[in-house]
Amino acid sequence: MAWDRAALLEKLRESYEYYYDIGDGDAGSGLPLLYTATFHMRSEGYVLIKRAKIWAAETNEYAYIFSMHELDAETASKCIEFALNDGFPKIKPDPEHRESYIIALFVADVIDEEAAKIIRSRKFYKSFKLGLWGWSALRTAAVGLEKELIETNKAGGNLVSFFRKLLRSEKV
């Protein structure tokens, strides 16, 4: 039994709405972008009073959610490049920046084998000031509903468990 795309997309959006800021899709790109999700977190350590700050760390995530009937290699490449070109300028490294992730998520009924290969092999990593000002990485993931398949790149490995929990929470 194949998973239902509409139900999965609804559950995916609900899971992102809780902690992320949801933005409009498409953005004039002509790509099957449903919406974007942005997350910012800041942690601090201090002694006795907040002005006596010892450390601070900022984490950011910029997620791009794409949906289509069939994911082919050309569309996958264009969508990933769009996510990188749109997300990377949003990263503002400074001494308190720890990490930023650009996430490209695909939900498709069918995933072409070449597209799956692109999803698995696409890498991007950038450290700022030898890592002292943090780093940025690309996470990619694709869910093939017909074959009940989840593909990710190495950095996106934790997205597999995220999707499995999402798909198991109710019969999608």
Q: Which amino acid is at 66?
A: F
Hey, what long-range contacts does 79-83 have (CB within 8 A, 24 or more apart)?
79/31, 79/32, 79/33, 79/104, 79/106, 80/104, 80/118, 80/122, 80/138, 80/140, 82/29, 82/31, 82/33, 83/138
CA dihedral over 145, 120, 75, 140, signed as positive or negative: positive
User: Residue 156: which pLDDT band, with cuts at 50, 70 and 90?
Assistant: confident
**Whole-structure pTM value:** 0.90
Q: What is the percent of the chain with per-residue pLDDT over 70, rounded to a whole number?
A: 95
Number of domains in the chain: 1
Phi and psi at residue 6, to the nearest 5°? -60, -45
In which domain, by residue range, is 76 found?
5-169
Note the pLDDT tens digit of each residue in 23-55: 987 767 788 999 999 999 989 898 888 888 888
Surface-to-core class of residue 62, CB atoms within 10 Å of its CB (0-12 exposed, 13-18 middle, 19+ buried): buried
User: Residue 163: which pLDDT band, with cuts at 50, 70 and 90?
Assistant: confident
Note the pLDDT tens digit of each residue in 85-140: 999 999 999 988 899 999 999 999 999 999 999 999 999 999 999 888 999 999 99
